[in-house]
A and B are shown apart, each in its own frame.
Chain A
Amino acid sequence: ACSGGASPSTSGNASGGTAVKGGTVTVLQTTDFSYLDPARGFDGGVNAFYRLVYRTLITKAANDAADPNAMVPDLAEGLGQVSADGLTWTYKIKDGVKFDTGAPITAQDVKFGISRAWDPEIGIGAPYLRQLLATPATYQGPYQSGENPAIETPDDKTVVFKLKAPFPEFDAVLSMPSAVPFPVGTGAGTTFINDIVASGPYDLDTFTPGSTIKLKRNPNWDAATDTERKAYPDAWNFAIGIDGATIDERLIAGQGADVNAMAGSVQTATIARLQTPQLQDRVVKAPSTCLTYVGLNTSKKNLSDVRVRQAINLAVDKTSLLNATGGNQFATIASTIIPSNVSGHADYDLYPSTGNTGDIEKAKALLTEAGLPNGFTLTLDIRTRPVAQAQGEAIQQSLKRVGIDVKLNVIDAATYYETIATPSQQHDAAITGWCPDWASSASTFLPPLFDGRQITDKGNQNLAQLNDVTVNAEIDRIKALTDLAEANKAWGELDQKIMELAPVVPVNVENRIYLPGSNVAGLVAPQGDQDYAIIGLKDASKG
């Protein structure tokens, strides 16, 4: 149940005022963007940046749209035309869309840009295109293998995609960064590491890795062709490498040009300082689409017993975990797998307890039933990040109450995901999180985490190693549904079925708490992430 949190639409309040054209918005951030090349990067942070400089055939609706989860045409004139067998998708490109070079964006450019995803070194970004398109396994990207046979360009304006199997949500796949078009022949090797070819409203001005990225307007972007991007500011300045606490200090102080600054979510410690009315006015609280959960490795001795997993679900003190995460402003306790603002969410709680502090009696009973009245020892993998450690300690404390002795295994943040995604190195349990690639359905939420047939030796996302025939069958069934609403309802039901097997402990859904500068307008984040394309300054002459 969404016990602690308000419903998503009301909590996703926007920063007040309306944006005008002009000025420079500064974004303060701690870490550098992963890659400027959209074929490589696809994390939440860089996706928001890509939206300023790149366009794709389809894109997610603007954050201030009626349905911000929806998929809308961007370079394409409309959503995809699917063939009856569901294997061929056809798109028409709008007139007047150009690269920053002034060259029009053609079907060949779309094909070329997408084909880059097959290059073994470049195409390390979003995987869906590679998984879905009927491209031969030997294809090595445009630089090595030339044309991609799965994409056809009958004319300059038409792109046709051939799929291996039907995928009703193919439009969403084309909204991924790896679908960005590039002029044919560009971007080999490391070219786009330090440079870009812009198709969006902004173009790279200066770039100092690890330090600054400045964007200026792309004169060849025509607002008339773009319904989703407002592109209010004349320039963007991304200041990188600033300590998180310093960012918060600057935003709170709001000195000089910092009134035009914004940043990612504030630090936990900062929340207590945001209680003044002036600051409260600026705060934007945005529940994310990401679930923090504990994966219980069902292939391990004690955890293979569903009663033990249920007992753990009952015993965990989600309130102390919530506090360890940052308290109820910073997160919302989760009882389901699909977070509330991802389409398909259904409300239920199979393992309730008073105050969400855990039901020790029931848990003990289940453990006794499972033949473990004195508990057992469990190794929990955690990242070196402070939050993860705090969460691990909270789990350790709460499971101690039912006799389960939790050993914390700290793994370096850099190798954490790799380690737990390798079944041979994975321990009993792990704290991790999952965000859907698109929030318009749960198809990127449940299948990657619980499809038993996707368990691999390396890069395994099914941490629970759950391989349940009925779950697998249900996944196949829902994926084939072409009616999105129907599918979403089915995902919600599947969510509950999976939780009956208790392969994971849903912990909480983090909120993002943004504190934009007082002159920044248009910050709306219904799914947690910011949409730079609709942000601007209230007064362009300030700062």
Chain B
Amino acid sequence: MTGELLLSVRDLVKQFPVAGTAGLFTPAKLFTAVDGVSFDLHAGQTLALVGESGSGKSTTARLAARLLDVTSGSIQLDGQDVTTRKGKDLAGVRRTVQVVFQDPFSSLNPRHTVERIVTAPLLYQQRDIPGGSRDFTRSLLDRVGLNPDWLDRYPAQFSGGQAQRIGIARALAIGPRVLVCDEAVSALDVSVQAQIINLLRDLQAEEGFGCLFIAHDLAVVRQIATSVAVMTAGKIVEAGERDAVFGDPKHEYTRRLLAAVPRIRPEWEAARRAKAAAR
């Protein structure tokens, strides 16, 4: 792989108790949401996790970002085992790993200003804000392509795509080396989606972070990922370089998934391209 090994996950298992199954003297039945997942993430790499709804993608991402405790398995960050860290010991993880969430509005506190939201990681980690809070926010907003003068606004005053950029700005505030994007573009319109994907791609090129990109839209994944892992029922059934997976799917499930993607007829596409080129 291109860069140094940032995140290494081995045999990750996460089980949830199933509500209502607990007997009087027996514990609740367990549902295995993530079942022996392993992967590596290198700097500059974008690893996409794809799979149908409920296959355990988000859970995997949360485990990797240490937002959930694992049932078993190990997580190594920068060569250090962080699997069982708790409370204050997680500061190191928080400094390295940041998350961009699916729903741009739900993930921004509606009662906080942009400035407060974007500087929150620094505040919470009790770090100095380089160049003062306002200037820092301005430069950050500028970086994600937002008007720097909007720093006193509230999330409700933004469109979905703008809000998602604020989410990205927040994640970038502390200069993370691992960025976890859990369905970061699924809630957005195609056109906005395209903007955000481009933004992420550009930022990654500048900063060289490793990106764990969760999505269920294979078409989007194809645009952004360097490698792909396909999940179903909590397991990774196929993993590899993007072109290998898309071009020559080995696993039956991957093939089904690819086949189900709706397509515009290629001949129409070709015709359009030709006309566009002519214009």
Classify A-B as touching or not with yes or no (CB < 8 A): no
Interface residues, chain A, with chain B CB atoms under 8 Å away: none
Interface residues, chain B, with chain A CB atoms under 8 Å away: none
